[in-house]
Structure 1
């Protein structure tokens, strides 16, 4: 069965997360995702609060920008969440928006090199390894976590371009695709991920694919979706987003599942008039219709 999630957009003030997290927990949502967007809410602190306020729903973080974070700190924070809330954490990392990284003096000369070094080190630390490495960006000297998650933990990598998608297949446990991917784009991304896994001698099928999908429902849904596509510069990509009732949204989710998505995470528009109602809609109305 395809899993279904929804996103708490960081355009909302942090104090609204508690109500939305509890609604996600009470409905049929599989996961609630939070963002770490400069310079809005932080991902780990938001995830920790959402997990503490809930009992069942899993919480995803997408994406932690690796230029901003020492890998040992990310490993410590991730391990703490995994041990306190076992089986309920999905952690994604990525390049970050390069202009934002430049604003804080953290823009790397080679984002791909950084992401490779970072992902390998983070996975190793979360798997309980003791690591010494001296790369171009990541340096660790005899570092190991005192409290790694039992059995390790998945690390997802967010990517758009072909080189990043192949890298994700090579070094990560899963890939996060943003809202710019149509079902056909998901198929192509899955192919690139598999190429990376094959090059690394890894099992091509044991790689989770998470896809964001713009969704709007209720009054003026089509107009709100169109505004979102215009704002994000995605009007030229066919098949993006869905506007309508539960049946229409579930049908589009199914198309993404058939294209290779293991989880579809619905992203409300920035001008969604009822964020709490959106969570109820996704969990109570759409989830039962998704195969």
Structure 2
């Protein structure tokens, strides 16, 4: 199995900061950068383009665009141009976005699974240089063709998925499934099984890859790194099991943990009551949801994801000195790659 390692950047960072981190990732030998375009934050295309110009080898991806605020035809136009700019290093991830945030702009998010199917079919055809006529349930195309020739005719499309329907669709149509932060290796095994269950419907000759996101704190001082990661994970649990969470998303986050939902509810209640994350978040939770600690800890976390079927682990360096942590972890990864 291929072993890849990537880094996540996002629209909360200035383009200048993204370029600084991208250049460091290229120097460290990371395989990929993935930009999260946060709803109503900075659009990522300026930063993505700047990072492509500033780097030589690292792949640069968008994870993810959603078709409700960017029509599939526009996605193909932009990704085709970015792939030209980067000499074939531009990767595309698509997802449905956060429905309740998109509603602030009165953007319809009905039929999300159908929207993903339509988007993949339209974008794939356009990127192959075809004239696309397609009648979908959400998005359609009538004799639509790009006015330039994309440089990769077999352009890969990655799909962010959490629910079983979405994961199965990725298994049918996508080149890779992208699994979000706060998902356990057990969740990933479940996703691999879901995709295998629709192998007879798959339209591509190759199996779908698995990309996993996780927060990362990597330092020689193990206790310092782990305690900082507890604070990061505590904040994520507060958001995902609090106002931003639904019964369904909470169940997805707990899936594969072998922990009862009552356990997560109790962690949330303690954090909400003001208890410190370093006293509430135990090692079990850290090992389920983070890449954190010293080099040995981080390599063990990386291996857990590989064992679950992941081919590319994508981390967000959450500490105040990401350049130092990137170099530290890059040295450790050399022993596994």
TM (normalized to structure 1)?
Answer: 0.91
How many pairs are equivalent?
287
1:121-145 residue CA offsets vs partner (Å, 9 max, x unmatched) = 1111112221112323212110112
Alignment partner, residue 258 of structure 1: 307
Instruction: Kindly indicate whether the alpha-carbon contact (under 8 Å) linking 2:88 and 2:152 is maintained by their aligned counterparts in 1.
Output: no
Instruction: Kindly indicate whether the alpha-carbon contact (under 8 Å) linking 2:10 and 2:44 is maintained by their aligned counterparts in 1.
Output: no
1:39/1:174 CA distance change after superposition, 3 Å: same
Instruction: Kindly indicate whether the alpha-carbon contact (under 8 Å) linking 2:168 and 2:194 is maintained by their aligned counterparts in 1.
Output: yes
Residue 280 of structure 1: how far off its partner (Å): 2.3
Alignment partner, residue 158 of structure 2: 156
Instruction: Kindly indicate whether the alpha-carbon contact (under 8 Å) linking 1:210 and 1:264 is maintained by their aligned counterparts in 2.
Output: yes
1:220-267 residue CA offsets vs partner (Å, 9 max, x unmatched) = 322232222222226954511132112211121112112111111112
TM (normalized to structure 2)?
Answer: 0.79
Is the counterpart of residue 230 in structure 1 residue 244 in structure 2? no
1:51-98 residue CA offsets vs partner (Å, 9 max, x unmatched) = 111111111211112211011111011111222323322210000011
Alignment partner, residue 37 of structure 1: 38
1:195/1:21 CA distance change after superposition, 3 Å: same
1:253-286 residue CA offsets vs partner (Å, 9 max, x unmatched) = 11211211111111223xx211222332333x23
What is the DSSP-based 3-state SS (H/G/I as helix, E as strand, rest coil) of the residue aligned with 1:176?
strand
Specify every segment of 5 or more residues in structure 2 that has no aligned partner in the other structure, as ranges.
242-253, 258-284
Q: Write the mapping of 1:209-220 to structure 2, written as runs, cut at 5 A.
A: 209-218=210-219, 220=224
Larger gyration radius, structure 1 or structure 2: 2
Alignment partner, residue 289 of structure 1: 335
Instruction: Kindly indicate whether the alpha-carbon contact (under 8 Å) linking 1:82 and 1:153 is maintained by their aligned counterparts in 2.
Output: no
Alignment partner, residue 69 of structure 1: 70
C-alpha distance in structure 2 between counterparts of 1:267 and 1:196, whole Å: 31
Instruction: Kindly indicate whether the alpha-carbon contact (under 8 Å) linking 1:130 and 1:143 is maintained by their aligned counterparts in 2.
Output: yes
What is the DSSP-based 3-state SS (H/G/I as helix, E as strand, rest coil) of the residue aligned with 2:123?
helix
1:23-55 residue CA offsets vs partner (Å, 9 max, x unmatched) = 111112111221111122323332211111111
The match for 1:184 among 164, 186, 194 is 186
1:85/1:264 CA distance change after superposition, 3 Å: same
Alignment partner, residue 272 of structure 2: none
What is the DSSP-based 3-state SS (H/G/I as helix, E as strand, rest coil) of the residue aligned with 1:6?
strand
Alignment partner, residue 170 of structure 1: 172
1:176-221 residue CA offsets vs partner (Å, 9 max, x unmatched) = 1112222221111111122233234654x52121111221123632
What is the DSSP-based 3-state SS (H/G/I as helix, E as strand, rest coil) of the residue aligned with 1:67?
coil
Instruction: Kindly indicate whether the alpha-carbon contact (under 8 Å) linking 2:32 and 2:61 is maintained by their aligned counterparts in 1.
Output: yes
Q: Quick check: 154-163 or 235-244, which moved more?
A: 235-244
What is the DSSP-based 3-state SS (H/G/I as helix, E as strand, rest coil) of the residue aligned with 1:232?
helix
Is the counterpart of residue 247 in structure 1 residue 296 in structure 2? yes
C-alpha distance in structure 2 between counterparts of 1:199 and 1:223, whole Å: 45
What is the DSSP-based 3-state SS (H/G/I as helix, E as strand, rest coil) of the residue aligned with 1:68?
coil
Q: Write the mapping of 1:70-219 to structure 2, written as runs, cut at 5 A.
A: 70-145=71-146, 146-200=148-202, 202-203=204-205, 206-218=207-219
C-alpha RMSD of matched pairs (Å) = 2.0
C-alpha distance in structure 2 between counterparts of 1:253 and 1:136, whole Å: 39
